[in-house]
Structure 1
Amino acid sequence: MTPSERPIPRFVAEPPQEPLPYGRWADALGERFLAACAEIETDEEIGAPGDVTWFPDRSWDGRTFIPASATTANGFELFGYVSFTREHPGAEATAFDASADYTDDTAEANPDWKLDLRDEEIGTWRGPRGRVGQITLVWGDALLPNGGMATAELGPTTTDQCELADDRFTLISLDNYTGDLLEVRLWGRGARELASESLYDEE
């Protein structure tokens, strides 16, 4: 093979290794996520959170990230993630961290949406000649039926993919690099594209 003209990281995160959280594990993660939600500083009356929805786990740079969301009594959405480390597969999770934010721009208020995306920068990547991009965690819901796979696209390059679990997916990808911005695509059977959305769409 010839040298790549576009040497960027692709598929850097491990694929999901566990089912969506449930039972005592979901309760333990939920406590940490809701504690992060309680630390959000705002003058808005967000309201009490409802049940936490979990997204597929992805592991990168020694940490496992499990994103989450929860709708509040006042119609806001809380979103974020819980992350942790394990010494080896099957070991006890340690070094927990959690992050949370909120929005009033929800799928319920936008029935025309095809994808409901959230994202957060979790690192940086330095390329040649001083170029720098962000490593971004993206999680979302497919709002169309018959979706099977979500992909992350940076310009002409597919940088990650995730099989849907209960119409939910999690991606980790390089973003905002050499003028290219991250886009998420939803695929159905037969590699048929069902939807696409940039993280930077204004609508």
Structure 2
Amino acid sequence: MRAVARRGLEAGGCRVVGEAATADEAVALVVEHRPNVALLDIHMPGNGIRAADDISRSVPTTAIVMLTQSREDDDLFDSLRAGAVGYLLKDAPPQSLADTLRGVLAGEAAMPSALVTRILDEFRGPARRRFGRGSPAAAKLSTREWEVMDLLRQGNSTDDVAGRLFLSPTTVRVHVSSVLRKLAVRDRASAFRLLEE
């Protein structure tokens, strides 16, 4: 993966000043070379999120961008809290990497739009989304439960919701069960009625 990323960056006119196999090596290279951007893998040996935190404290002028396969909310939010200014998925075309990193240096967000939506949803909280904004039922749901129920209410199937939120269908059903329990109702239709009040 490092070789693919390097080829994409160099083909796009970027100069790569170092490569690291572990989090500790990455931090040491950034401290030594002070590059404009550090591209880190979340699951690199030693933990890429820890490396991001160390780099953001040691060399705050280096922009940190995570390159990962993970679409998990925890990884996304932990990366941002550690100081990352971008979060890219490994399935992005390598030839676009150089332009994306130039955009980061120009102050642009480097993140797929589906993940930006998750950040906005987390920031707004469940009571500000598309069901009844002030309903007591809304306040009982987590962000992810709210997303699942809203997509189901729009007519999406369990499999559709799973695909859109990068979850398994089983996880979607677990969220629905949790909502029904929290709202003390027996079925989705009853839950939708409460949430629309």
TM range (shorter): under 0.3
More strand by share: 1
What TM-score comes out, normalization by structure 2 length?
0.25
What TM-score comes out, normalization by structure 1 length?
0.24
Q: Which has the larger radius of gyration?
A: 2
- RCO comparison, higher one (Cα < 8 Å, 6+): 1
More helix by share: 2
